[in-house]
């Protein structure tokens, strides 16, 4: 372990030693100081550092009207890869201008009254799953904000001059489209809150039968009620899931119901959401810097990519994001070559040449071995799916070459032991080197080759003098 | 998930020895399989049936490498246990640490094993010191005290022995024998340590870990809507029950330390009783370390991974055998258990090892409670 890794581990350990109450106080302090003492970036960084602990402790967060306003559509928030509007998603950067605009539209006295009530309302206890103040204050805020936004956006729809003014005020066309989506979600806030309990905690993994039933029932009821644009419930549902492909059979059976967008069925709505998310994922890959990623992350990204394209192809949706997909595949191929395969030989060699644990240079030996193992595991992981990114031959050749090297080095080690070159180090040290060589050969060449090496190596050690 | 009452109960082990000791194999299909002795004192492995049906396969220990495609680490571990010939939990643990020390399960497991062995040495020294100090204070009616520096200083052994002379006479034995008894007693208690020590020893840490698991997985069950919630509740109940059972054994094993003169005077009878309690404690916590670590790892992962971990934990859950806990309330309820092999751990048609699953098992092995 490097010094930095040890330090980080130490910080992480200390973070978990702080009592829950202190974490809650610290969180509230940072959040309240956000606008006053700390910069937003600094407050976010501080909260980021606390995040692993926050997940476990769940302290009550500093609740503001803005946070309540965002609650119905918070699942839709994303960090976009470009300035293009993504269907069914809202850019995080749109929050501030849209909230400012909403605040201007609302009755200022009512806002002040709401803020005062919020300040006086006690925070929930530590570890509470959901803050009950959100739906309580939200019921008022969401409906008045939705009404006011509906007026403004309707006017923009019919008055091009006002629309241009609004775009300028908000800071761009995409922000206006995000504002429209916020409004759509606010209009459905009530039914969405009911569905949220069924689709919690987030992210929702494999859908349970009861959850499928709840989604269907909620959507049918929403369409029957005539409130808002029902498609936003689909966006909400998809955004809470790790695998939204599961929603295709659910909403395909509801295709005779409306979404609020002419010509777009519920099933198509899900597909557009997935298509947008996959495009963004592919763009993220394109912007990744292999120099800043470790082997495991690259392998994980390849794995995610292959899963994603597998699902897209299976559902006949691969045509939409094809250019982005191809670009991402090419980028991953390059990342695997440059980030994982290049230099793998030298890493393995370094691990094999490293002195035994506990001897001088033990830490360097340990680091070299860990690094070599991580790389081998990453290559093995990519090897399973390398064909999907056109790197099958590269990865296969690399593994073959690594196995040959490991085998040759193992044979050389046995020869050295037999020739008495390790006599000075003693049996234990020689045995340790055999084990090291066996381990690496097992990882790259499999158990059979490693088994032979272990048998021959230990037999050679047994014959060493003393 | 509901199982018919009494399902599978006729095949449940009645005693710890019959249940066997969990082995920290890295071959996924054998992870936490159990070793025990047959009626002819030969080692055998019990492993869950692979088809998902209830029941276990029983395989002769020496045949395990022939039947399964084992990792190199597991081949070495199998040999180490076979060579030692014991399936008692402390012996299996020792063989496991010695094997991990070779590095055959990776450098991180190697380092973790080295640290664990060093920690055991430290705990042994600390426990002995605390026992000597406590015993001397009580037997000399407060006239003798001892500091750690005096205990570890060169020549301390002889100095302590000479100080023990008078007390030894009272027991009709020699100072040398009295010293040896205290040393042996300390060795027996070292895995659990004594009250007031600056750190918890391993078995106590395990019990604390089991209680935390009971709380955490129980709380998780309340947030989950899947069938795994029922399994998690059962795990929580069993972890809680086992931790309580273990705490009683700790109390029983440590109680004699309050009356050292009685123990030392009746040494031949007293020591086996203490050993028995400690041995039962070892059996009680056996298999829980992997479970506690598996859940800690799963807590930071997504819901599907957590459900998978719950299912896996339920499969390998160490139930206290019926006759071991016969006098305890709720013991019957704890026996209601079923074993299901839920996920495939190797390529079904090739039997080849899945390197990613091996990696996952190894990653749990790298850490300690």
CB-defined contacts A:B, below 8 A: 76
Higher-pLDDT residue of B145, A259: A259
Cross-chain Cβ contact B225/A208 below 8 Å: yes
Q: Quick one: three-class SS letters along A40-90?
A: HHHHHHHHHHHHHHHHHHCCCCCCCHHHHHHHHHHHHEECCCCCCCCCCCE
Residue A311 Cα to chain centre, angstroms: 18
End-to-end CA distance of chain A: 34
Closest-CA residue to A409 (of A342, A323, A348): A348
Cross-chain Cβ contact A447/B70 below 8 Å: yes
Angle at B306 between CA B302 and CA B310, to 5 degrees: 175
Higher-pLDDT residue of A266, A44: A266
Whether B342 has its CB under 8 Å from any CB of chain A: the answer is no
Cα(A41)–Cα(A24) distance, rounded to whole angstroms?
20
Whether A380 has its CB under 8 Å from any CB of chain B: the answer is yes
Whether B28 has its CB under 8 Å from any CB of chain A: the answer is no
Q: What is the pLDDT of residue A361?
A: 55
Which one of B111, B302, B355 has the shortest CB-CB distance to A205? B302
Closest-CA residue to A286 (of A333, A342, A340): A333
Best of A201, A302, A456 to mutate (most B CBs within 10 Å, chain B): A201
Give the number of other Cβ atoms within 10 Å of residue A325's Cβ.
22
Instruction: Assign residue B354 a region (left: φ > 0; alpha: ψ between -120 and 50; beta: otherwise).
Output: beta
CA distances from B350 to A236, A291, B344 (A): 43, 37, 12
How many angstroms separate the CA of residue A207 from the nearest CA in chain B?
9
Instruction: Assign residue A84 a region (left: φ > 0; alpha: ψ between -120 and 50; beta: otherwise).
Output: beta
Residues of A in contact with B69 (CB under 8 A): 447
Whether B66 has its CB under 8 Å from any CB of chain A: the answer is no
Which one of B71, B104, B302 has the shortest CB-CB distance to A242? B302
Domains in chain B: boundaries: 9-365
Residues of B in contact with A211 (CB under 8 A): 225
Cross-chain Cβ contact A435/B307 below 8 Å: no
Q: What is the pLDDT of residue B137?
A: 87
How many angstroms separate the CA of residue A87 from the nearest CA in chain B?
26
Q: Could you read off the pLDDT of A69-88 as tens digits, one per residue?
A: 999 999 999 999 898 999 99
Backbone φ, ψ for residue A72 (5° rounding): -65, -25
Cross-chain Cβ contact B307/A439 below 8 Å: no
Residue A174's SS3 state is: helix
Here the tokens at position B270 are 């007293």
Cα(B289)–Cα(B367) distance, rounded to whole angstroms?
10
Q: What is the pLDDT of residue B37?
A: 95
Best of B65, B107, B302 to mutate (most A CBs within 10 Å, chain A): B107
pLDDT exceeds cutoff 80 at A287: yes
How are beta strands B34-37 and B43-48 bridged, if at all?
antiparallel
Cross-chain Cβ contact B304/A205 below 8 Å: yes
Residue A294's Cβ-side half-sphere holds a number of Cα atoms within 13 Å equal to: 9
Cross-chain Cβ contact B223/A201 below 8 Å: yes
Cross-chain Cβ contact B226/A357 below 8 Å: no
Which one of A52, A380, A439 has the shortest CB-CB distance to B106? A439
How many angstroms separate the CA of residue A150 from the nearest CA in chain B?
37
Backbone φ, ψ for residue B234 (5° rounding): -65, -40
pLDDT exceeds cutoff 60 at A134: yes
Whether A449 has its CB under 8 Å from any CB of chain B: the answer is no
Q: Could you read off the pLDDT of A308-365 as tens digits, one per residue?
A: 999 999 999 888 888 999 999 999 999 999 888 987 777 776 776 665 544 545 788 8
How many angstroms separate the CA of residue A431 from the nearest CA in chain B?
9
Cα(A333)–Cα(A339) distance, rounded to whole angstroms?
10
Q: Partners of A91 in the beta sheet? A: A78
- Comparing alpha-carbon positions, the chain A residue that sits nearest to B359 is A377
pLDDT exceeds cutoff 80 at A156: yes
End-to-end CA distance of chain B: 30
How many angstroms separate the CA of residue A206 from the nearest CA in chain B?
7
Whether B70 has its CB under 8 Å from any CB of chain A: the answer is yes
Residue-by-residue pLDDT tens, chain B, 369 positions = 343 344 444 457 889 999 999 999 999 989 999 999 998 999 999 987 665 556 778 999 999 999 999 999 999 999 999 999 999 999 999 999 999 999 999 999 999 999 999 999 999 999 999 999 999 888 887 777 777 877 888 888 888 888 888 888 888 899 999 999 999 999 999 999 998 899 999 999 999 999 999 999 999 999 898 999 999 999 999 999 999 999 999 999 999 999 999 999 999 999 999 999 999 999 999 999 999 999 999 998 889 999 999 999 998 999 999 888 877 766 666 655 444 333 333 443 344 566 777 777 777 777 777
User: Which residues are within 8 A (CB) of B235 and not within 5 positions of it... i.e. 6 or more apart?
Assistant: B213, B217, B291, B310, B313, B314, B317
pTM comes to 0.83
- Comparing alpha-carbon positions, the chain A residue that sits nearest to B99 is A435
Of A46-60, A130-144, A269-283, B85-99, least confident by mean pLDDT is A46-60
Cα(B46)–Cα(B18) distance, rounded to whole angstroms?
10
Residues of B in contact with A200 (CB under 8 A): 223
Please give the radius of gyration of chain B, using alpha carbons only, rounded to the nearest integer. Answer: 22
User: Which residues are within 8 A (CB) of A411 and not within 5 positions of it... i.e. 6 or more apart?
Assistant: A453
């Amino acid at each position: 372990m490097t010094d930095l890794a040890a330090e980080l581990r130490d910080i992480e350990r200390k973070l978990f030693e702080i009592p829950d109450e202190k974490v809650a106080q610290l969180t509230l302090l940072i959040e309240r100081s956000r606008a006053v003492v700390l910069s937003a970036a600094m407050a976010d960084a501080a909260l980021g550092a606390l995040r692993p602990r926050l997940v476990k402790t769940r302290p009550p967060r500093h609740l503001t009207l803005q946070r309540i306003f965002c609650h119905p559509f918070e699942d839709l928030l994303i960090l976009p890869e470009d300035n293009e509007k993504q269907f069914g998603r809202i850019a995080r950067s749109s929050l501030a201008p849209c909230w400012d605009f909403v605040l201007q539209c609302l009755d200022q006295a009512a806002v002040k009254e709401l803020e005062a009530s919020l300040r006086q309302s006690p925070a929930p206890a530590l570890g509470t799953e959901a803050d009950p103040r959100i739906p309580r204050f939200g019921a008022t805020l969401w409906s008045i904000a939705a009404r006011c936004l509906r007026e403004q956006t309707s006017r923009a729809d019919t008055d091009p001059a006002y629309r241009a003014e609004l775009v300028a005020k908000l800071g761009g066309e995409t922000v206006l489209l995000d504002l429209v989506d916020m409004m759509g979600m606010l209009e459905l806030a009530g039914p969405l809150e009911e569905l949220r309990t069924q689709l919690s905690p987030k992210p929702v993994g494999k859908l349970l039968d009861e959850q499928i039933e709840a989604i269907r029932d909620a959507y049918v009821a929403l369409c029957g009620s005539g409130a808002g644009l029902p498609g936003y419930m689909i966006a909400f549902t998809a955004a809470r899931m790790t695998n939204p492909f599961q929603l295709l059979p659910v909403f395909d059976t509801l295709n005779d119901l409306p979404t609020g967008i002419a010509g777009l069925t519920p099933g198509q709505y899900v597909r557009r959401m997935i298509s947008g998310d996959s495009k963004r994922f592919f763009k993220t890959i394109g912007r990744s810097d292999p120099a800043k990623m470790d082997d495991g992350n690259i392998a994980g990204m390849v794995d995610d990519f292959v899963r994603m394209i597998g699902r897209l192809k299976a559902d006949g949706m691969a045509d939409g994001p094809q250019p982005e997909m191809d670009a991402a595949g090419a980028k991953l191929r390059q990342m695997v070559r440059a980030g994982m395969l290049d230099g793998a030989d030298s890493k393995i060699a370094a691990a094999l040449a490293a002195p035994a644990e506990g001897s001088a240079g033990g830490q360097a030996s340990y680091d070299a071995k860990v690094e070599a193992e991580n790389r081998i595991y990453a290559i093995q992981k990519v090897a399973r799916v390398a064909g999907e990114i056109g790197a099958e031959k590269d990865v296969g050749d690399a593994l073959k070459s690594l196995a040959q090297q490991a085998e040759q080095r193992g044979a050389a080690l046995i020869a050295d032991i037999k020739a008495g070159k390790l006599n000075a180090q003693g049996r234990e040290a020689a045995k340790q080197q055999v084990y090291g060589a066996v381990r690496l050969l097992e990882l790259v060449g499999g158990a059979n080759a490693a088994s032979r090496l272990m048998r021959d190596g230990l037999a050679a050690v047994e014959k060493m003098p003393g | 998930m509901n199982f018919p009452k009494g399902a599978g109960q006729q095949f449940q082990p009645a005693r710890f020895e019959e249940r066997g000791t969990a082995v920290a194999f890295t071959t996924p299909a054998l992870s936490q399989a159990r070793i025990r002795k047959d009626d002819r004192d030969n080692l055998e492995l019990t492993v869950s049936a692979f088809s998902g049906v209830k029941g276990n396969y029983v395989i002769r220990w020496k045949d395990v490498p022939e039947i399964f495609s084992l990792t190199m680490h597991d081949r070495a571990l199998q040999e180490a246990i076979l060579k030692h010939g014991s399936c008692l939990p402390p012996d299996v643990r020792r063989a496991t640490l010695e094997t991990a020390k070779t590095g055959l399960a990776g450098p991180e497991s190697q380092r973790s094993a080295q640290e664990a062995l060093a920690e055991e040495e430290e705990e042994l020294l600390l426990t002995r010191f605390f026992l000597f100090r406590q015993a001397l204070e009580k037997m000399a009616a407060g006239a003798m005290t001892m500091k750690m520096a005096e205990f570890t200083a060169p020549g301390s052994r002889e100095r302590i022995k000479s100080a023990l002379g008078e007390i030894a006479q009272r027991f009709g034995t020699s100072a040398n024998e009295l010293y040896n008894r205290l040393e042996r007693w300390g060795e027996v208690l070292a895995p659990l340590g004594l009250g007031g020590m600056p750190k918890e020893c391993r078995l106590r840490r395990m019990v604390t870990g089991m209680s935390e698991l009971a709380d955490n997985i129980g709380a998780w069950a309340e947030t989950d809507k899947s069938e795994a919630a029922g399994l998690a509740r059962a795990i929580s109940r069993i972890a809680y029950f086992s931790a309580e059972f273990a705490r009683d054994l700790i109390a029983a094993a440590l109680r004699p330390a309050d009356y050292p003169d009685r123990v030392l005077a009746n040494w031949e009878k007293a020591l086996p009783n203490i050993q028995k309690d400690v041995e039962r404690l070892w059996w009680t916590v056996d298999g829980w370390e992997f479970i506690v670590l598996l859940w800690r790892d799963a807590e930071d992962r997504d819901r599907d991974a957590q459900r998978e971990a719950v299912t896996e934990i339920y499969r390998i859950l160490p139930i206290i055998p019926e006759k071991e806990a016969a006098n305890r309330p709720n013991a019957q309820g704890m026996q209601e258990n079923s074993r299901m092999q839920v996920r495939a751990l190797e390529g079904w048609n090739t039997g080849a090892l899945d390197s990613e699953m091996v990696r996952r098992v190894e990653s749990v092995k790298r850490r300690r409670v």
